[in-house]
Amino acid sequence: MSNQAKRAQANHPILDLLADRWSPYAFDPQTVEEEKLLSCLEAARWAASSYNEQPWSFVVAKREDETEFPRLLDCLLEANQAWAKNAGVLMITVTSKQFSRDGKPNLMAEHDIGLAIGNLTAQATSFGLFVHQMAGINRSKARQTYNIPESHEPLTAIGLGYAANAQRDQAPRSRRPLSEFVFKGAWGTSR
């Protein structure tokens, strides 16, 4: 669903699939096609990562799975459950905390799973799907529910699906200008 009100008001031209991305609260509870879901996960797979560690995992539940969807929904904070229950797919994202090659801490794991989810989101947008990410999860419940080992860390949840056009999602998107976060020569000095 393209939505002109939500489109990024970009000051420099950017790809449609980046400009048209936004995070809906109102999902339409329809099925996400399996082949589209697989392509979204495949897109995540091909992200860059430090030493090609690929420190990302995804626990996935589709809305029509009456066993797994409620279990995953229950790992979200209540405020998120209220809207995420209509997403066609829910996921818990998990990072690995150490490099598999030498057991040393991977300080790039969270950065790298962000890259992978950026890929997933671009792929989703190309299908007309939307992604809403949540920091608000119950990490210990997720760990317990899925038996996630101590070597790994549940980080976020993702709602993926088709957007409904509800009132809550009409506010325009806003961002700081480049001059506030792109610097040259010294911190705070705009290019």
Tokens 């671009």, located at residue: 122
Residue 176 touches a copy of itself, criterion: CB under 8 A: yes
User: What three-state secondary structure class fits 44?
Assistant: helix
Q: Is 46 in the site for a copy of itself (CB under 8 A)?
A: yes
Mutual orientation of helices 34-45 and 109-126 as an angle, nearest 10°?
140
Smallest distance from a copy of itself to CB 132, Å: 8
Question: Which run of H or E residues covers position 163?
Answer: strand 152-163
Q: Give yes or no for residue 41 binding a copy of itself (CB under 8 A).
A: yes
- Positions 122 through 151 that interact with a copy of itself (CB under 8 A): 122-123, 126, 131, 133, 135, 146-149
Please give the Cα distance from 135 to 87 (Å, whole number): 16
Q: Contacting a copy of itself (CB under 8 A), which of 5, 14, 79, 82?
A: 14
Residue 27, judged by CB atoms within 10 A of its CB (0-12, 13-18, 19+), counts as buried
Enumerate residues 55-114 that contact a copy of itself by CB under 8 A: 56-61, 67-68, 71, 107-108, 110-114
* Given 3, 118, 141, 164, the residue binding a copy of itself (CB under 8 A): 118
